[in-house]
Amino acid sequence: MKILLLLILTALSLTANTTLATKLIKQHEGFVRTPYVDATHFSVGYGTNLRNGISKAEAELLLVHRLAIREEQLSQYMWYKRLSPIRKAVILDMAYNLGLGGILQFKAMIWALDKGYYHGAATAMRESVWCKQVGNRCTHLYNLMYKGK
């Protein structure tokens, strides 16, 4: 919802000049989904120069957009729909990190969530390879899943 509002506000702020320039840039640059070498630097998308990175605002937009996609994907699952907001946030954090396919590999955790057995879900998280890879992130998410707050 937030990303939609932000996109609407951005679209409303476009002038006739930027609207025309957007069309021209799309035509000339083309869309490339992954980073590529463009003359002397890396670019992505419609020629976005990555030499100096991205702004915090751009990173926020990307984060919110990708979380909205993950939430829409996860909302197909009843085990996810029944979770409290904090436990949904834990799963969204994990899905952001692992992708949808990655989170769906947590079979024991999902089984426990489906049964409302949050201690079991938290334990399955803590006993995973993912937990060893992400360290303190896992500890924090484990506690949120276990306690629900």
pTM for the predicted model, two decimal places: 0.80
pLDDT of 21 above 60? yes
- Report whether 122 contacts 146 (CB < 8 A): yes
Q: Where are the domains of the chain?
A: 78-149
Q: Identify residue 17 by its one-letter amino acid code.
A: N
CB neighbours of 54 closer than 8 A, spacing ≥ 6?
48, 62
Give 66-125 pLDDT, tens digit per residue: 999 999 999 999 999 999 999 999 999 999 999 999 999 999 999 999 999 999 999 999
Q: What is the CATH number of domain 78-149?
A: 1.10.530.40
